[in-house]
Structure 1
Amino acid sequence: MGKGKDRNLKDLYVQMFSIHGLVRGEALELGRDADTGGQVKYVLELARALGRRPEVERVELVTRLISDKAVSKDYAQPVEPLSPEARIVRIQCGGRKYVRKELLWPHLDEMVDKTVKYLKKQGRIPDVFHGHYADGGYVARELAAFFGVPFVFTGHSMGAHKKGKLMADGLSEEEVNRRYHIDQRIRVEERIIRDAEQIVVSTRHEIERQYSLYENFAAGHFNVVPPGIDIDTFYPYYQNQFEHNVDEELARQTRVVLLAELERFWGSTHKPFILALCRPDQRKNISGLIKAYGEDKDLQAIANLAIFAGIRKDIASMEENERHVLTEMLLLMDNYDLYGKLAIPKKHDFTLEVPELYRLCADSRGVFVNPALVEPFGLTLVEAASCGVPIVATEDGGPADIIANCDNGILVDPTDSGRIAAACKAILVDRELWDKYSRNGIIGVRNHYSWESHCASTIEVYARAQAAVPKPDPATEQKPRAIGKRLAGVDRLLITDIDNTLVGDEEAMRELLELLDKHRDQVAWGVATGRSLEVTLDVLAKHRIPVPDIIIAAVGTEIYYGPDFGRDNGWQQHLRYQWKPAAIRKALAGLVFLKLQEDSDQHPFKVSYFMDDAEDNLARVHFALQERKLHYTLEFSHGSFLDILPYRAGKGKALRYLSYKWNIPLNRIMICGDSGSDAQMLRGDTCGVVVGNYSRELEPLRGQRKLFFSKQEYAAGIMDGIRHYKFLNSGSRQVTKD
């Protein structure tokens, strides 16, 4: 999509998701931990750069809201502007504490639900959902499916490749899953590859070596779009600050601080130095670089070594992976007796110090090394090259593309310490080669890795993604799973039981359905039933009832959305808390008056029995469950059907969840039922309607506030309730009666 094509300028709304790590607009804490690395820097710069494009009106970078004394208050700010067109939006999920990304998987559906609520409240749906990494990809995929808009994915790294590398390093599959939940991540990535309209990769290597490991690889739509960098920040070492609008005094002070920090470690400060800059992660192979340096006395004589491995305070308090890497660094330093030659500073400021650090390295006629076992792209290599530093990099991954484009360094086998040392020496001792690689890197970055070219390509990817979304069905005017746009556009909801409520009077039912269709821009409607989805669909088809917007099935343990019946995963995740179906069956096994219903009536969140309507049987069930301190909800209906559900479940609780998620107030939800299984959802602040042919189980509810007992039966009773509450009246607020 370029200027003048398909859409007006300045109207594209992009919502990006980068959920883990610490994300803020200034003073990035890159390297603080394994989750706050290059991806954080990339998505922030992408958001700002996209905002400068003429096609883009708004960019929102959605991340996790964190309110934790262990981190800055900046991460608890709900909205942080980045530019007039771009901002960070923080949404809480998984509590308020800062946790590593592997622990966020059970909470991503909460992020989906709260983003839905945010979007409905603001009254506009993004044109593109762009997910970064598997967790952001999961959230973006769910939202894109809800709203029927394009889903674009950038993986940054992929789980299948990581699993293979970790197991090759000696970790067992069990250990890899314990630490990284890798199989769950791979399952999510399989679905992402299948469903994404477009996938952005940095290099061909990502496609060939990472995505090709997936079963759904052939379904992927890949676009190679190398990341960009800010060349006004990463300018060449020989240029003056004023040429790039940089505060000259601040740059000078930054250089002084850096030199003072390095001089604390080095005995001689007049040598060139080898620079490495990365997170303290085993895959970054910092130990390989130290071994290469420590085993080569000539290299030690030629140059100093500086390794900036993240930000650390107390190694003992860090995560296991980071603690191991940093401890190994110190042990290797001691083993090779590198005191006076190896600098390992404890912190660095990525905004101010890192660009100056690259220029210091270039001024010394040094070299930048990325010894990672595999590097999906290598953004630090591009930054260093832009400042004029020649590079030595792993041959496994994106660096091969960078050096192919720029001809500015040497690729090495990262497991061969001799080759790493030889490559560094080759550049350091050959003045002409150093000059060639330095010059080529500066020119190559400007030709291949600017934000301007990166964003132009990204906009084209968005256009391809929009073109790939299925067009509306002429009969329904709905895209598949575009229910989100519909529910975001209505301001009220009608939910009815099926048997003896919606169904029972054919003529009245047809009149009701026509009325709802006439007001479809105002009201969504659905059914609530104890049946499974499959049986419910059969019943609806039998009675020629059109597809509802919502189906609450299996006694409120499942929520589905029309027209293609996508499951609400957020509701499923909500129900898992304290749900122990095996323990429930064991607790009730000795009660002879209970008989398990057929397997087809059992569901993941429902244990169903037949039970005689004896006076004390229900009390005996409660006693058996409470004696074992189990959490549950009981639903008993029609004198014989007992359903045991999670204590968070039930038709009424499902309705309240829908009210929260889709931002529809309870007093704008009308509930219609006829039996005891409807009692829970009829209670509360909704507009309740009991049809005239109701079961005696509902008689105790008579007189309850906001519950109307109609004298009309079946669907006629529903329409009577609509009139009673003036439910379909125009205006911003409907009239409700006690």
Structure 2
Amino acid sequence: MYELVQAVLNSDEKTALRHLVSELSCSGKRYFLRNEILQAFADYCHQSQKPAYFFHSSSLGKFIHYAHEILLEDDNTWFLLRPRIASQEVWRLPANMSSIEQMTPQALLDACDRYVNRYQPQILEIDFRSFYQGFPSIDDPRNIGQGLAFLNRYLCSQIAIDRKYWLEVLFDALRRLRYNGIPLLTSDRIRSGIHLCQQIKQAVKFIGERHPEEPYEKFRDELQALGLEPGWGNTASRVRETLELFDRLLDAPEPPILEAFVSRVPAVFRVVLVSIHGWISQDDVLGRPETMGQVAYVLEQARNLENKLREEIRLAGLDLLGIQPQVVILTRLIPNCEGTHCDLRLEKLEGTENGWILRVPFREFNPQVTQNWISKFEIWPYLEAFAIDAEQELLTQLGGRPDLIIGNYSDGNLVAFLLTQRLNVTLCNIAHSLEKPKYLFSNLYWQELEEQYHFSAQFTADLINMNAADFIITSSYHEIVGTPDSLGQYESYKNFTMPQLYHVVDGINLFSPKFNLVPPGVDENIFFPYNQIENRDESLRTTINDLLFSREDPQILGHLDDPNKRPICAVAHMTPVKNLSGLAECFGQSQALQQHCNLIFVTNKLHEAEATKPEEAEEIQRIHNIINQYNLHGKIRWVGMRLPKMDLGEVYRVIADRQGLCVHFARFEAFGRTILEAMSCGLPTFATEFGGSAELIEGIEGEENGFHINPTDLEGTTKKILDFIDHCDTNPEHWQEISKRMIQRVHNKYNWQLHTKQLLLLSKIYRFWDFVTQENQEPLLRYVETLYHLVFKPRAEKILEQHMQR
């Protein structure tokens, strides 16, 4: 980067840079983000009549394209450059442009504090960098999120280097595997790693003489005489395969062998999923709008985990010992539950034999608050006491310690952290969606936003959670490190300022192997393809057709002049970030779209009076205004009621029956479950290019990314949709071909079977990794605990003080 900067300063392009900085300064602003920087540079190039290559290919053009932030001070111009994914550099350019100097992140954070007039010379610096030194780290940014594969390669290389040492480590790890004190793989008859190898070779020879399908109980006594306990397999063939995998791992350690062996190790039986907000039940009680996606994810994950654990226990031969898997969703009990089941302590999960929702109440600091639902922005003061109370409830329900605790969202992850610290079990972190990147400058202006959002507690909790986790699951690569043009959600925590509270100098190691890309699936019993006629309920199909195209109802707006036009469907909650108003305006501005299509909204609200937040009311009113402004009456239908999931699946299929399409026009989407659900039903789907949702439809039309849309570019979106419609009109088979590709992509990559298989494998590998590196991780955990007690708790206590006054 230094050479590029010098090339600008040592050429005529220095004049262009001076003019650009001058133009930015004349705008009246001092802080500029990437889009503003690129637009200002494009305007400069146009006004200065620069040749076409200058914008992209000149040294200054390349330098500007690396710039993600520019901050203007009286004497300096600060640049935050991102020369490649997951790599940030700070550069300072003096007013005379005589030279440019690379600076530390701390220097830029100080400049940001000065920008908001909240600079103080002495401030707490949070820096996790040293705690990751000495641990293996990924080198290539393209491999970020592939922690399991990296760790497997690393462990195999270590085994190859020192086979004798690692044989004893593996022996010790297998010896410790027990269920309620019962040894699962080896007994005390085996005294060392060398002895284990000898016994395994004898066992392989013995098993080779048995019929492959002979059940384990027929030769159990012979194996136990060799020191091998139940857990190697349920049949002779499976026992032999597992034993041979261990034998091969020591002779020729290779990642596929290690992964295959670890996947068979019986190490996970009791799993806890923490989702704190409440409103989790099964009678269509799926959280509030702000948590609905998370709740649906947790319920489906729990069901599939319990089923997968049951299968693993059977294949390991452990049902012989009467071992049963247990999966518990830990949430809060809400006394004022508005007629739902959310005030029940225990509720069985449908579709499982031993899956449960366990609800623990918040302590009644103030019943006016704690007996009701509490927003994710207000929940922080109650989490520590909840974790203490939940610990005993969990131990009683499970009959022992869990093997894995999975946190969900910032608050659930904090409770999971507190529980794992006390119970000493493996911790998995799933953020779903981090709030910091959603709210522009939320860290810089946290004091002004504190009363409403309490970001100081939340962002501190996020730093604690992501660094304390044994492994982190993300749904997309973008969630971690974004794209060449945008920062990832976790990357936004790399360095930032909370003026007058602390500076984050290095908040997370993005190259740590703890990050793993494990996307969720969809419920294929509900969101199945439209052409599976045998699975569809004809009565429901008729009802949904009536709902979408003809029924009159106070919660439905609009009558379609021509119901036979190709429908464009959008399903979302009524929040500004989902940007339904933007889609309505896009449709309103295009006569061609109106000529070919009807627009159908399926949302949770229709009338401004139904809004519970000012921003909801504004979005609802804006859509009504757009309908009137563009005279969309007769061309748009707006269903404003909450539909059961089964009905929603049929909504997508009914739209697909008419060869319609789905548009997800969000300003930003961390992942996009509704996108997957629409695709799974066979509906061609256009999705925002901002966020992880872009990965869901990647490659559907080759490298063209024809189904990626920019919600800030209404003309470009209109053109993409019209091009698709024209192609379908010209070639009727095109719609079916795209539909088939959408279905296949979800089926092959986004399914719960793959998710749970990978999740349990991760749990086992990272449990072993923790066993090997426990001593080295102790300083990191002590640092995290310090942040919790000295920074987070005081912020949470301030929220409690406010609540006590209500």
Scaled by the length of structure 2, what TM-score is found? 0.56
Cα pair 1:112 1:570 within 8 Å, conserved: no
* Corresponding residue for residue 458 of structure 2: 185
**CA distance in structure 2 between the partners assigned to 1:344 and 1:316 by the alignment:** 15
The amino acid that maps onto 1:87 is W
Checking the alignment, whether the CA contact within 8 Å between 1:265 and 1:341 is kept in structure 2 is yes
Tell whether the 8 Å contact from 2:284 to 2:644 is kept in structure 1 after alignment.
yes
The within-5 A match list for 1:448-597 is 448-470=749-771
Counterpart check, 1:73 vs 2:368: no
Displacement, 1:9?
4.9
Who is 2:273 aligned against?
16
For residues 578 and 291 of structure 1, the distance between their equivalents in structure 2, rounded to whole angstroms, comes to: 43
- Verify: 1:294 aligned to 2:575, yes or no: no
Superposition pairs of residues 63-142 of structure 1, within 5 angstroms: 63-68=331-336, 71-82=338-349, 83-93=352-362, 95-122=370-397, 123-142=399-418
**SS in structure 2 at match of 1:210:** coil
Distance, in Å, in 1 between the alignment partners of 2:472 and 2:697 is 24
The separation in 1 between residues aligned to 2:687 and 2:423, in whole angstroms, is 43
Contact residue 306 and residue 355 of structure 2 kept, 8 A: yes
Matches within 5 A, 1:633-648: none
Check 1:139–1:565 CA distance in 2 against 1; reply closer, same or farther (3 A cut). closer
Asked if 1:399 is matched to 2:399, the reply is: no
Among the aligned pairs, what percent are the same residue?
27
User: In 1, Cα distance between the equivalents of 2:759 and 2:663?
Assistant: 29
**For the structure 1 residues 60 and 24, does the alpha-carbon distance in structure 2 shift closer, same or farther, using more than 3 Å as the test?**
same
| 1:52 and 1:85 in contact (8 A); partners too | no
- State the AA in 2 paired with 1:130: I
Q: Out of 399, 420, 426, which is 1:144 matched to?
A: 420
Report the Cα distance in structure 1 between the residues aligned to 2:404 and 2:709, rounded to whole angstroms.
39
Q: Secondary structure at the match of 1:343?
A: strand
Cα 1:12–1:303 shift into 2, 3 Å:
same
8 Å CA contact 2:377, 2:453 repeated in 1: yes
Query: What's the offset of the Cα at 1:120?
Result: 4.0
Contact 2:381 2:800 in 1 (8 A): no
Aligned length: 493
Work out which of the residue numbers 190, 202, 212 in structure 1 matches 2:491.
212
Q: Decide which structure has greater helix share.
A: 2
1:37 and 1:279 in contact (8 A); partners too: no
428 and 192 in structure 1: CA distance in 2 versus 1, 3 angstrom threshold: same
1:50 counterpart residue number? 305
Matches within 5 A, 1:251-650: 251-261=541-551, 265-311=559-605, 315=609, 318-404=612-698, 406-407=700-701, 410-431=707-728, 432=731, 433-470=734-771
Alignment match, 1:233: 526
Offset, 1:473? 8.3
| CA deviation profile, 1:185-240 (whole Å, cap 9, x unmatched) | 11111111111110000111011111111132216521001111122322211221
- Secondary structure of the residue aligned to 2:272 is strand
Change (3 A) 1:405 1:109: farther
Match in the other structure for 1:198: 471
Q: How far apart are the structure 2 equivalents of 1:573 and 1:411?
A: 41
Aligned to 2:516: 223
Task: Report which stretch shifted further, 303-312 or 130-139.
Answer: 303-312
Q: Structure 1 pair 257/281, CA: closer, same or farther in 2 (3 Å)?
A: closer
Do 2:558 and 2:633's aligned partners in 1 also have CA atoms closer than 8 Å? no
Q: 2:475·2:517 contact (CA, 8 Å) conserved in 1?
A: yes
CA distance in 2, matches of 1:98, 1:154: 22
Decide whether the 8 Å contact of 1:163 with 1:182 is kept in 2. no
Q: Give the whole-Å Cα distance in 2 for the aligned partners of 1:249 and 1:3.
A: 47
* Amino acid in the other structure paired with 1:429: D
Q: Which amino acid counterpart does residue 44 of structure 1 have in structure 2?
A: L
SS of equivalent residue, structure 2 residue 640: coil
**Using a 3 Å threshold, how does the CA distance of structure 1 residues 264 and 51 change in structure 2: closer, same or farther?**
same
Coordinate RMSD, CA, aligned: 3.7
Deviation at 1:566, TM superposition (A): 9.3
Larger radius of gyration: 1
In structure 2, distance between residues paired with 1:577 and 1:285? 31
Residues 583-609 of structure 1: CA distance to partner in whole angstroms, max 9, x if unpaired?
xxxxxxxxxxxxxxxxxxxxxxxxxxx
Letter in 1 for 2:741: N
TM-score normalized with structure 1 length: 0.61
Distance in 2 between the 1:473 and 1:360 partners? 54
CA change 1:195–1:6 in 2 (3 A) is same
Amino acid at match of 2:720: A
Alpha-carbon separation, structure 2, partners of 1:579 and 1:354: 42
Task: Measure the CA separation in 1 of the matches of 2:402 and 2:445.
Answer: 42
Compared CA separation, residues 566 and 207, structure 1 to 2 (3 A): closer
Change in Cα spacing, 1:579 to 1:51, as seen in structure 2 (3 Å) is closer
User: What's the CA shift for 1:374?
Assistant: 1.3
**In 2, are the aligned partners of 1:11 and 1:55 still within 8 Å (CA)?**
no
Q: In the alignment, is the contact (CA less than 8 A) between 2:405 and 2:416 conserved in 1?
A: yes
Tell me: CA distance 1:576–1:470, structure 2 relative to 1, closer, same or farther (3 Å). farther
Structure number with higher relative contact order (C-alpha < 8 Å, ≥ 6 residues apart): 2
1:292 and 1:453 map into 2 onto residues whose CA distance is: 38
In 2: Cα distance, 1:85 partner to 1:423 partner: 48
Q: Deviations over 1:416-455 (max 9, x none)?
A: 1112222222222321442332111011111111111111
The amino acid across from 2:409 in the alignment is: Y
Q: Is the 8 A contact 2:570 2:663 kept in 1?
A: yes
Post-superposition shift, 1:297?
Answer: 1.2
Q: Return the offset for 1:386.
A: 1.2
> C-alpha deviations, 1:538-592, integer Å up to 9, x for none?
xxxxxxxxxxxxxxxxxxxxxx9xx999969999899879989xxxxxxxxxxxx
In 1: Cα distance, 2:598 partner to 2:289 partner? 26
The corresponding residue for 2:252 is none
Supply the distance in 1 between the matched residues of 2:466 and 2:359 (Cα, whole angstroms).
Answer: 26
Instruction: Decide whether the 8 Å contact of 1:307 with 1:345 is kept in 2.
Output: yes
| Corresponding residue of 1:596 | none
Report the alpha carbon displacement of residue 312 of structure 1 after superposing the two structures with TM.
6.1
Question: C-alpha displacement at 1:368, in angstroms?
Answer: 0.6
Which residue is equivalent to 2:329?
A: 61
Where do 1:667-686 residues align within 5 Å?
A: none
**Residue 153 of structure 1 corresponds to which residue in structure 2?**
429
Instruction: Report the CA distance shift for 1:285/1:473 in structure 2 as closer, same or farther (over 3 A).
Output: closer
Q: Render the CA deviation track for 1:442-485: whole Å, top value 9, x for unaligned.
A: 111111111111111111222233123346989xxx9969x9xx
- Residue by residue over 1:335-382, the C-alpha shift from the partner in whole angstroms, topping out at 9 and shown as x without a partner, is 222222222212132322111010111111111111111111111111
Q: Aligned pair in 2 of structure 1 residues 428, 173: CA closer, same or farther (>3 Å)?
A: farther
Hey, what does 1:626 align to over in structure 2?
A: none
Choose 263-272 or 412-421, whichever is displaced more. Answer: 263-272
Unaligned runs of 5+ in 1: 484-559, 581-629, 632-738
Aligned AA (1:455)? T
SS in 2 for 1:191: helix
Q: In 1, distance between residues paired with 2:286 and 2:767?
A: 35
- Give, in whole Å, the separation in 2 of the partners of 1:113 and 1:306: 48
Deviations 1:48-97 (A, max 9, x none): 1111102471111112212226x333111211111213221112126121
Q: Following TM superposition, by how much is the alpha carbon of 1:46 offset from its aligned partner in structure 2, in angstroms?
A: 0.7
